[in-house]
């Protein structure tokens, strides 16, 4: 099974209506899957919708003058949003 890091690196290949599920505690190394149903695969918990992850990453980039997030930064931003229902602030 792919990790959350793997899945986020292939995000453009995932169905926009898909739901991302990952094993808790959520980390870049968590097992992850995209499913079309609300029912998470065994051992995984709902994380975010694929479409919402695109939004999270667009906001991350726009708040950082168009910079593209690394794989680790993608994971951090997505996990932060899933846990706090808020975009990851720009650190000073």
Residue in the block written with tokens 């951090």: 76
Say what the pTM is.
0.93
Q: pLDDT per residue over 58-80, tens digit each?
A: 999 999 999 999 999 999 999 99
The angle subtended at Cα 60 by Cα 48 and Cα 90, nearest 5°, is: 120
Angle at 56 between CA 51 and CA 59, to 5 degrees: 125
pLDDT at 29 over 60: yes
pLDDT of residue 36: 83
Residue 50: closest CA among 8, 16, 85, 22: 16
């Amino acid at each position: 099974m792919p990790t959350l890091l793997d899945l986020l690196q292939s995000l453009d290949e995932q169905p926009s209506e898909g739901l991302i599920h990952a094993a808790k505690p959520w980390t870049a190394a968590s097992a992850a899957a995209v499913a079309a149903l609300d029912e998470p695969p065994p051992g995984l918990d709902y994380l975010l919708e694929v479409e919402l992850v695109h939004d999270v990453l667009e906001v991350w980039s726009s708040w950082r003058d168009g910079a593209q997030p690394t794989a680790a930064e993608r994971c951090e931003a997505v996990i932060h949003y899933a846990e706090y229902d808020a975009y990851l602030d720009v650190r000073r």
